[in-house]
Amino acid sequence: MGNTVGSKDFPKFSKDHYILGLWLADGYWRASSIGLTSVNKQLIERFSAFLHQIAPKKPLKIRRYDPKTGEKRRQTAWQVYVNDRPLTRLFMSFKSQLPNISQKHLPAYFAGRIDGDGHVDRKHRTGIRIAYGKLIDAQRDQQLLGKSNVSLYQYTQAKTFVLYFRKSFREKILPAMSKYSVKLAP
């Protein structure tokens, strides 16, 4: 793929859309850096590989937050990021252009959202849900999926908004999302 920073072809592939969905769920950005924070080492490794591929000349920075060292965390978490202003602008432009995402890339994008802020309940078969901190983000994703395919709930005490995949839609899109998702993998 090479360095596509600033390229009009980015995001082009489904794996790009997966990464961008994951970043919107668990990522962060500063004026000149873009990164991901997660307790899932596999997600950190995927994001690291992507950053290395898209910005090979920029050094990756990885931080580890460990509860054993007195940090206020219940479990170990990692943060990976790269300082690259053009890449940061590219990610931010993707966020503003989300309503234009191609239907063929939706499964990969939502697989990333699920891996970041989603939950898959296999035991009770209640399905798949994605949590959001902002109503506008939840409504945007609801629009992308179609209001007839998901339900949007607000949990006022938790200050979150949650999209629940309806069973018929979930069964239809699950095989396509499973190709990309860590949480949905068999």
Residue 184 lies in a domain: no
Tell me the three state secondary structure of residue 55: coil
109 with 81, same domain? no
Residue 1 lies in a domain: no
CA angle 12, 47, 108 (to 5 degrees): 45
Q: Which two tokens stand for residue 168?
A: 């018929």
Q: Taking 80 as the threshold, does the pLDDT of residue 72 lie above it?
A: no
Q: What is the mean pLDDT of residues 8-34?
A: 88
124 with 67, same domain? no
Q: What is the mean pLDDT of residues 98-113?
A: 90
Number of domains in the chain: 2
Contact status, residue 97 vs residue 144, Cβ threshold 8 Å: no
Residue 139 lies in a domain: yes
Residue ranges making up the domain that contains 58: 14-96
Q: What is the mean pLDDT of residues 46-69?
A: 91
34 with 90, same domain? yes
- Residue located via tokens 């690259």: 84
User: Which helix (H) or strand (E) element contains residue 173?
Assistant: helix 167-178
Q: Which two tokens stand for residue 11?
A: 């995001």
121 with 149, same domain? yes
Contact status, residue 1 vs residue 80, Cβ threshold 8 Å: no
pTM for the structure as a whole: 0.89
Q: Name the domain boundary from 65, 96, 127.
A: 96
Burial 72-92 (b: 16+ CB within 10 A, else e): eeeeebbbbbbbbeebbbbbe
| Dihedral sign (CA 44, 45, 48, 49) | negative
Looking up residue 129, the CATH number of its domain turns out to be 3.10.28.10
Residue 84 is predicted with a pLDDT of 92
Residue 130 is predicted with a pLDDT of 95
Q: Which has the closest alpha carbon to 111: 128, 125, 94?
A: 128
Residue 183 lies in a domain: no
Residue 78 lies in a domain: yes
120 with 60, same domain? no
Q: How confident is residue 94, by pLDDT bands cut at 50, 70 and 90?
A: confident
